Amino acid sequence: MATLAKLKLAMGTSIFLIALVFAVFLSAIMLILNFPLFYAIILTLLFILFQFLLGPAIVRSSSRLYYLRSGENLWLETTVKELSKKSGLSMPKLAIVPDETPNAFVFGRTSRSATLAVHEGLLTKLNKEEIKGVIGHELGHIKHKDFIVMTVLSALPLLAYIIARGTWSAARFAGSSSKKKGEGSVKAAFLAIAVISYIVYIVSLLCVMRLSRLREHYADAYSAYITSSPQSLQSALAKITYGLSLSPKPPSGARALYIGDPGMAKQEIRYVMEKKGEYDLDKDGVLDEKELEIAMEKEAKSAWTKINTWFATHPPTFKRILLLREIEMEMASGRYTNDRVYAYI
């Protein structure tokens, strides 16, 4: 039976593995460039600090959110306050994102200074119980403090990617410049660093994405517990996935923060629609709720989907719904207790 300790262990393991990979990575780069390792460590720590300190400001600016004044949305404010109190959390700052897609996210440097941002599309396209389920999910992220860990960890794959792109461009420039003695060795050094950096980027990204998917399951389970209504979040996730799949906008760079990833939503619905004839059981030309459910279940089990999921920030929607259904059945049986919040993860 999974417990919160499993998530903490996963976060600790991810931090250790990525730190180890980066230690080897930096050592290799410094060896190739014949520089002291100390400089690389200092620069990496500064980059992580930069991400940690400026990350929230970047999210605020890129999402164009605005903070709610007290009493501006009384129902939302009251609901968040009630669930925060039940969770034993400080009331997060509330913000609205002027975006018609149904989504929500939390960000910040600490649990006490966290911001819970809700898209306008979520408030208009979901009913109050579904919105409550989404709020419970986001409070789960604050409760687990995983959004802080993700902010720090996501800086390292980004750094590896920046180094890879920079050294690859430098190698191309070195190859096209005038011939000088030693130019070939410089180009070889840049190419070696670029290849190593790309490998580190992929390995570290896989670790970060795996943790991102796991924390979504924990936040879903927490929402079921804190709202006592797994069905509300099930319905919300289905609407969010469908709504995001229709969005003409490209996915945001902060995809891991959201309750739903627009890129993955488009992919999930596209796979289903490509096999519409197979899943349209009554041949009426429309996939009803039951047919869509069967389609999503089958697609979630396919080998291609599983491989694709390795680089996904979120688990397939059906797997999230399946977890909530298992919790719902246990709640209905009367056997559900507070120590079984994460039992089905």
Ranges of the chain whose pLDDT falls below 50: 178
**pLDDT of amino acid 146:** 94
Per-residue pLDDT at 29: 85
219-243 residue pLDDT tens: 999 999 999 999 999 999 988 988 8
The amino acid that residue 21 corresponds to is: V
Please check whether residue 107 is in contact with residue 117, taking contact to mean a CB–CB distance below 8 angstroms: yes
Using alpha carbons, select from 11, 50, 3, 45 the residue that is nearest to residue 207. 11
Instruction: Express each pLDDT in 156-179 by its tens digit.
Output: 888 889 999 988 888 887 655 545
Please, what is the end-to-end C-alpha distance for the chain in angstroms? 8
pLDDT of residue 155: 82
* pLDDT score, position 180: 56
pLDDT number for residue 268: 79
pTM: 0.87
- What DSSP letter does each residue of 134-191 carry, written as one string? HHHHHHHHHHHTHHHHHHHHTHHHHHHHHHHHHHHHHHHHHHHS---TTHHHHHHHHH
CA atoms within 13 A on the CB side of 159: 24
Domain spans of the chain, in order of start: 4-340
pLDDT attached to residue 42: 84
Catalytic residues, by residue number, are 138
pLDDT at 183: 59
